[in-house]
Amino acid sequence: MSDERADEGSESANGGGSGATRDDAPAFEAARYPDGSITYPAHPVGPGGEAPVDTVDLSEYTAEVITWTTSTATPPGVREPNHVAIVEFDVDGEPVRAIGQATTGDIEIGEEVEPVYCEELRDPDAGIREPASQEWDGFRFRPVE
């Protein structure tokens, strides 16, 4: 395993630690609908045309890497290179796909990953928006050891 895998799971966009543990991290919340489907992100109306009836915390599950890429031309404040993956969770037999940053470029299609909380996915001071106008935290996908 590379040092990058071990270190990047809890780093901010600037390289600092997040300080968050799985216990104090927010939920990685998906929505469950009456027909049993689950979507991430949650939507006010699901695939069957109905409102969500429950939520699912995806941070309690692992996922499989469907595909991934590395961007070397990133927006202001986003780490460079930026590894991004599309992953699929299996939640009680229901597939749920998500896209997000990977903690490393040392991943492979079909590899098992887990979501890890990050307080700053990008630097709030580097963008053109007022930092208080949006949230900067989220989840990255780290290969399961």
Alpha-carbon distance of 17 to 23, in angstroms, equals: 16
Q: What is the pLDDT along the chain (145 residues), one digit of tens a residue?
A: 333 433 344 443 333 333 344 567 899 999 999 999 999 999 999 999 999 999 999 999 999 999 999 999 887 878 889 999 999 999 999 999 999 999 999 999 999 999 999 887 777 677 666 666 666 788 999 999 8
36 Cα distance to chain centroid: 22
57 Cα distance to chain centroid: 12
Domain span at 113: 3-143
For the chain, the domain total comes to 1
Walk across the sheet containing 38-39 and list its strands. Answer: 38-39, 29-32, 54-57
Against a cut of 0.85, is the pTM above it? no
